Homo-oligomer: A and B are copies of this chain.
Amino acid sequence: MTVAGSIFPRVPDLETIREASRRISPHIHRTPVMTCASLDALAGARLFFKCENLQKCGAFKIRGATNAMALLSEEEARRGVVTHSSGNHAAALSLAARGRGAAAWIVMPSNAPSIKKAAVEAYGGRITECEPTLAAREAAAREIIERTGAVMIHPYNDARIIAGQGTAALEFLEQAPDLEFILAPVSGGGLLSGTAIAAKGLRPQVRVIGCEPQNADDAHRSKASGRIEPMEHPDTIADGLRASLCEMTFSVIRERVDQIALVSEEEIVEAMRYVWERMKIVIEPSAAVAAAVAVFRKVDWQGKKVGVILSGGNVDLAKLPFAK
């Protein structure tokens, strides 16, 4: 199976991300940047929040999915697309495929949040459930490809996706040009690698920080050892951060990300509560991982300007972690 399309074989560069931005901007929201004095006080820094929770589909994933769909040939679009995803990429690809008039087959692990399954269905995606392991996901996707000829759009091991996700940081630095740090959550690494390419390309002195749960710390361990250290059984409330890096994303993260900061499950929930209570916006646990790195001061940035990508806002309101 071909992971990246033939017109997009390599790791993207800044210009590729700029092209992606021009390509997708008519189809996505330019999300606002918010500030909050009480969170600044907690962080000891001036925080700027890029609100991708207010993005279409409720997450940055629509950026990469829209870019990838736009780059398909007519013939590929007729065959339809397939992916495996715990949620936000699945919903985003379903919506982007519908925009192109293409079918979308979505392999989802059985433990994906019901709200994310409902979103896929609402956008017309066709769900196949599988066991929550990478092997089961890949086997189910392969079976669909053999049966339908659909084109694989991997959630992160795909340069079209990485270029699309990088457009969030591109916009962010247009809106807040003098950021000194940029924080993004890391799972498979599509957002973080795209962020690093865009941010370091535009502003080499900016420090790019990946934000990861202690309980799913493969990126942290991989960066320390210099080779991919997959996560076997991630056990974190951050349901969007349970995947592990791939070669393409790790090659970027190894070179251009300054640090991977870790947070505990308690810090994720506490940061999520802070953002909901003080900023009055809904973020999902994966986004709260980056907020937690900020409010629990995991990096030495006293008084500096720190950008935080709030990656998404899709949560099951019937299963919140706040009840005492």
Contacts and interface: CB of A to CB of B under 8 A. Distances in A.
B282 A276 contact: yes
Nearest to A272: B317
A318 B273 CA distance: 10
A60 to B, nearest CB: 13
- Copies of the polypeptide in the assembly: 2
Nearest to A51: B280
Contacts of A276: 282, 317
Interface residues of A, number: 21
Nearest to A115: B277
A111 to B, nearest CB: 18
Interface in A153-182: none
Interface in A265-324: 273, 276-277, 279-283, 313, 317-320, 322-324
A240 interface: no
A305 B301 CA distance: 46
Contact of A317 (B54, B277, B313, B318): B277
Contacts of A58: 280
A210 to B, nearest CB: 23
Contact of A320 (B53, B277, B281, B322): B322
A99 interface: no
A322 B317 CA distance: 6
A83 to B, nearest CB: 23
B282 A317 contact: no
A88 to B, nearest CB: 13
List of 10 A-B pairs having minimum Cβ-Cβ separation, nearest first? A280-B313, A317-B322, A280-B282, A318-B324, A53-B280, A318-B322, A276-B282, A281-B281, A318-B323, A54-B280
Interface of A: 32, 53-54, 58, 115, 273, 276-277, 279-283, 313, 317-320, 322-324
